[in-house]
Amino acid sequence: MSLMSFVSGLIAAGAFAQADTYVVRGAELTCSEGTLPSSLNLPQSHGVYIKDKPVMNVTDCVAEKNIGLFGFCKKTDDVCQPELCGIWSDGKEDLLIDEQPALLDRATLICSLGGIISIAKNGGQE
């Protein structure tokens, strides 16, 4: 086996992939249809902390309570008013925070207006 095929195999297996991280209060969010980033808020902690910041779970997805506005919406040509569908995808199923999967930085959330909300920065422990 050549060195190149060995390294290619490692890459394909995810050996050099960055590990998922947990998301805490203050994480930076982006929307594919928004003009500005926003932040993730948690008015009341679930009681689990990383570096003194509360850890979020997949149900922390209420517009204007947990998720701020993203400037202007490219779909509506008006001020962003998120209409969120469901909960965050891809939570950490084997680590429950208030009986819900912990939120990971790879998670996404769908807006019914056509945007996909992603976590740009996890909130402090990167």
**Domain 20-121's class?**
mainly beta
Indicate the SS3 state at residue 40: strand
Q: What is the pLDDT of residue 15?
A: 46
pLDDT tens across 28-57, in order? 999 999 999 999 999 999 999 999 999 999
Indicate the SS3 state at residue 4: helix
Instruction: Give me the residue spans of the domains in the chain.
Output: 20-121
Q: Which of 63, 48, 52, 53 is nearest to 101 (CA)?
A: 48
49 phi/psi in degrees, rounded to 5: -130, 150
Distance CA 115, CA 104 (A): 19
Q: What is the mean pLDDT of residues 81-102?
A: 95
Q: Which of 71, 57, 53, 54 is nearest to 101 (CA)?
A: 57
